[in-house]
Structure 1
Amino acid sequence: MMKYLQRLGKSLMLPVACLPVAGILMGLGYLLAPTTMQGGNAEASVALILGTFFVKAGAAIIDNMSVLFAIGVAVGMAKEQDGTPALAGIVAWFVIQTLLSPGFIGVLTGGEVDPAFNKVNNQFIGIMSGIVGATCYNRFSGTKLPDFLAFFSGKRSVAIVTALISIVLAAILFFVWPLIYNALVLLGESVISLGAVGAGIYAFLNRLLIPIGMHHALNAVFWFDVAGISDLTKFWAGTGTYGVTGMYMTGFFPVMMFGLPAAAFAMYQCAKPERKKAVVGLLASAAFCSFFTGVTEPLEFAFMFLAPGLYVLYAVMTGITAAITVMLPIRAGFSFSAGFLDLFFSSQTPLAQNPWMIIVVGLATAVVYYLVFRIAIVKFDFKTPGREDEDVPVTTDLKGDAAFVAYAEKVLEGLGGKENITSVDNCITRIRCEVVDSSKVNDSILKAAGAKGVLHPSNTAVQVIVGTQVQFVVDELKKLLK
């Protein structure tokens, strides 16, 4: 079950990867449009048109995230990278949306419609549709039918089976969806009722779930239209409440832009003198990635498994930082993650509230994180990068195809060779593999290749933390496996 959930978490990143361009487009649009509304000259009119154009272009992505989830999850969960699962996912989506639409439900019930059916166009249903599409593909893509039905054999049968199963699923959801929806709403309302404290609890749990990759499921409840909160979509669409919307995103900015880079500096200073040169590249590049883009996994995985106690402390500090930031009040949002790029573009949106106060809070956060990390590392002798008992050579400079090939060859060796690997894929920062015999996996070889961490979620699952360049390593690894 855990392996399945982790695979689902990975597949969610495919549609989420569409969000940055939506944020940039809408940020540019809001940057242009509010300025032009103050004047009536020809230039203002042109800017207004351009601003509106960009906002609508970005909204085209944000407003259809549920459909993107149906397609992305179907592709991500399928056993092969093929277009058929995407088709199956969208078939499931259309069938379920039609059969659970308020109009059709009204016909079935004689006019009485549960309010839950007004919210079937959401990311949760999109994820379910994607799972149905991928499952049907994995199970029926090799189906052989009699000669007179041979045209519908194999992959052509997938969409047909998906439609039939989706009808059954819609019938089940007719009774179950109101219960699921109301439970999700109750969860959301419980956290919302806690205000800034609730935002802090959410941020704490978000960080705590990262090691198993399940923070995406938690995010869906607060960021998208699963429980009616829609913090992310309402913020960018400008349809939320000023001073409220954005509270489940704002608290991450001081941590990702300032707190974690300061923690990286503390880890560098606490490294053994002879190891500082070896880890400076790793920590510096990860810190910049966290500040500029908000991608924190390269840095978090650098100490997550070396010093799990320090990571729990970091999660607690993230929760506290988020609660304080929300209390001030400050509101900002992100389309992808809480880095400088998203802060700049989100500051132009109508629901942004004192967004540049994040810099003030962030500087204070940097001081606190630096002091806490440095004191904790020294006092408890946490084995952060550069303080390991064994000196492991680390390769961090990946430039050019030859470097990716060399990295992939080392990973292949560390995973026990071609015969030991049954499947390989990746998310934003991790290589996700299924192996035949986990005892053949050599963590030391993987770390020597440059891996920032190695995770064993189950007896046959292995995750190698590479960083944001993981796609190029996996591409070369797949070539070697062929």
Structure 2
Amino acid sequence: MMKYLQKLGKALMLPVAALPICGILMGLGYALAPAAMGAEGATTGFAYTAGFILIKAGGALIDNMAWLFAVGAAVGLSDDHDGTSALAGLVSYLMMTQLLSTGVVSALPFMNLVEGTSTYIAFQKTAGNAFIGILAAIIGSTCYNKFKSTQLPDWLAFFSGKRCVAIVTGLVSIVVSVILLFVWPIIFNALVLLGDGIVSLGGVGAGLYAFFNRLLIPTGLHHALNNVFWFDTIGLGDLTHYWAGETSADVGWSLGMYMSGFFPCMMFGIPGAALAMVHTAKNKKAAIGLVTSAAICAFVCGVTEPFEFGFMFLCFPLYVVYALLYGIFTVITYYVGFRAGFMFSAGATDLVFSASLPAHANTWMIIPLGIAAFVVFYVVFRFAITKFNLVTPGREDEDADAAEANITLANNDFTAIASGVLAAIGGKGNVTNVDYCATRLRFEVKDSTAVNEKAVKAAGAAGVIRPSKNACQVVIGPKVQFVYDELKKML
């Protein structure tokens, strides 16, 4: 299971790579045109127009992240990264979001869906849900891997092979959608009840909310808790009352307490964790490229998905620790009296705008709280990554040698190298699966004793690494993709 989650994490790198620049665009646009995202500000002039364009440009991908996951992750999860798997992922996503939409579910008499109820809200949250996108990618890629070579009778021969993948994917997606019709609202309503139950716990309850909010991000079910604490599902509505210009005297809780704790974590904690990932990375260039831009997104406008989806599936235990840190800092911010709110998310832009509202308090404390968050996130992430040898961006190859990036092939005859490597690992019959990363061919073999390391080196590769009994990694170098392409033809 963990191996598959890491494969999923690697597959998500493709769509996640498109998100950081969009988050930065939205942050800059929000700073120029706050009114375009619901805050106070001018609605005319050059700044507003420029900001509006930037917000819409960035939102084109951020708001449709689930589509990116359905298509991009499906390609990454397929055996040969074929575009047919992307089509299958899209087919699955479109079918599931349609079947789970409020319009369709409302038309099903046995669902008895009533507008305004938590069950109705649950199905509202399926459209654009990242979890549905990832699930679609898994369904699409799995169907592609299993049915891409299917041979049908002559009278159905047109639908043989890759053409049958989308058909099978559609059928599987219908079955999964029917299951989710019953499972999704049960889980969503259970989380609403959980939120209702921890409201009375004060600062500790706020911390529990923040913890579960982050923990549920991969599933998209954090919306269930958000509706309890930020909006008016049970008559709370921390966000709506805050931005309505009210104070704690107008409500029955410390206004802003369910938003304030996110600011030090998103603005400073994520950059601290990102720095730890860079310092512990074996491929620092890859780590810097992803987490640095993701940290800027989080600081400027509180867009955290590029950072979170970049490692949550690669190393879920570390993601749980990450969520726990949110809970701890939310409790701290509650008791030290720091209060701020957000219309979009807990970035610097919203911090500035929310400071003008009556419910804000001790906003200057973002400096000490931010420094503390940066240090704590950095120390915790660095300790956990190095102590337990965790997989994070730039550390996908646990035993990687820093010199691998400089490896050059003995020659550039990729066909000859692929042929030699294939023979050296026991031939086509010994290979059950093959993939590649930044510098290596990753084989799964039936008989590890059939692998001849001297013959692998003689073929032009740099060496062999054996991470497990049936795994064999052949170190090629930066041109590994070209060798892999030739190898796939032979297989």
TM (norm. structure 1) is 0.60
Assess, with a 3 A threshold, how the Cα gap between structure 1 residues 293 and 70 changes in structure 2: closer, same or farther. Answer: closer
Assess, with a 3 A threshold, how the Cα gap between structure 1 residues 2 and 189 changes in structure 2: closer, same or farther. Answer: farther
Partner residue, 2:207: 197
Structure 1: how far apart are the matches of 2:76 and 2:131? 16
Assess, with a 3 A threshold, how the Cα gap between structure 1 residues 478 and 11 changes in structure 2: closer, same or farther. Answer: same
Structure 1, residues 376-423: CA drift from partner, whole Å, max 9, x if none?
A: 99xxx9899xxxxxxx9963695xxx65769x99xx999997658732
Letter in 2 for 1:220: P
Partner residue, 1:395: 402
- Give the CA deviation at 1:33: 1.0
> Are positions 1:26 and 2:26 aligned together?
yes
Assess, with a 3 A threshold, how the Cα gap between structure 1 residues 24 and 246 changes in structure 2: closer, same or farther. Answer: farther
Assess, with a 3 A threshold, how the Cα gap between structure 1 residues 218 and 13 changes in structure 2: closer, same or farther. Answer: farther
> Are positions 1:424 and 2:435 aligned together?
yes
Partner residue, 1:102: 102
- Give the CA deviation at 1:179: 2.4
Assess, with a 3 A threshold, how the Cα gap between structure 1 residues 148 and 365 changes in structure 2: closer, same or farther. Answer: closer
Aligned with 2:435: secondary structure?
A: strand
Aligned with 2:402: secondary structure?
A: coil
Structure 1, residues 79-138: CA drift from partner, whole Å, max 9, x if none?
A: 221111121122222222333332333332178214233333222222222222112211
Do the aligned partners of 1:32 and 1:47 also contact (CA within 8 Å) in 2?
A: yes
Structure 2: how far apart are the matches of 1:136 and 1:99? 19
Structure 1: how far apart are the matches of 2:400 and 2:167? 53
Partner residue, 1:445: none
Assess, with a 3 A threshold, how the Cα gap between structure 1 residues 169 and 480 changes in structure 2: closer, same or farther. Answer: closer
- Match among 104, 114, 118 for residue 124 of structure 2: 118
Assess, with a 3 A threshold, how the Cα gap between structure 1 residues 168 and 311 changes in structure 2: closer, same or farther. Answer: closer
- Match among 133, 141, 148 for residue 155 of structure 2: 148
Unaligned residue ranges in structure 2 (runs of 5+)? 114-118, 232-237, 243-255, 296-305, 390-398, 454-460
Match runs of 1:170-181 below 5 Å: 170-181=177-188
Do the aligned partners of 1:200 and 1:322 also contact (CA within 8 Å) in 2?
A: yes
- Match among 431, 435, 453 for residue 444 of structure 2: 435
Do the aligned partners of 2:436 and 2:481 also contact (CA within 8 Å) in 1?
A: no
Aligned with 1:423: secondary structure?
A: strand
Do the aligned partners of 2:150 and 2:160 also contact (CA within 8 Å) in 1?
A: yes
Partner residue, 1:251: 265
Structure 2: how far apart are the matches of 1:477 and 1:333? 50
> Are positions 1:67 and 2:67 aligned together?
yes
> Are positions 1:50 and 2:47 aligned together?
no
Do the aligned partners of 2:93 and 2:133 also contact (CA within 8 Å) in 1?
A: yes
Partner residue, 1:6: 6
Assess, with a 3 A threshold, how the Cα gap between structure 1 residues 418 and 476 changes in structure 2: closer, same or farther. Answer: farther
RMSD: 6.0
Residue-pair matches, total: 401
Match runs of 1:156-171 below 5 Å: 156-171=163-178
The worse-fitting range, judged by mean Cα deviation, of 119-128 and 246-255 is: 246-255
> Are positions 1:478 and 2:480 aligned together?
no
Partner residue, 2:217: 219
Assess, with a 3 A threshold, how the Cα gap between structure 1 residues 251 and 136 changes in structure 2: closer, same or farther. Answer: same
Partner residue, 1:273: none
Unaligned residue ranges in structure 1 (runs of 5+)? 207-216, 268-278, 336-341, 385-391, 443-448
> Are positions 1:131 and 2:138 aligned together?
yes
Do the aligned partners of 2:355 and 2:363 also contact (CA within 8 Å) in 1?
A: no
Structure 1, residues 263-296: CA drift from partner, whole Å, max 9, x if none?
A: 999x9xxxxxxxxxxx9x9899979986665499
Do the aligned partners of 2:79 and 2:145 also contact (CA within 8 Å) in 1?
A: yes
Partner residue, 2:90: 90
Identity of aligned residues (%): 40
Structure 2: how far apart are the matches of 1:479 and 1:135? 21
Do the aligned partners of 1:93 and 1:129 also contact (CA within 8 Å) in 2?
A: yes
- Give the CA deviation at 1:163: 1.8
Assess, with a 3 A threshold, how the Cα gap between structure 1 residues 64 and 142 changes in structure 2: closer, same or farther. Answer: same
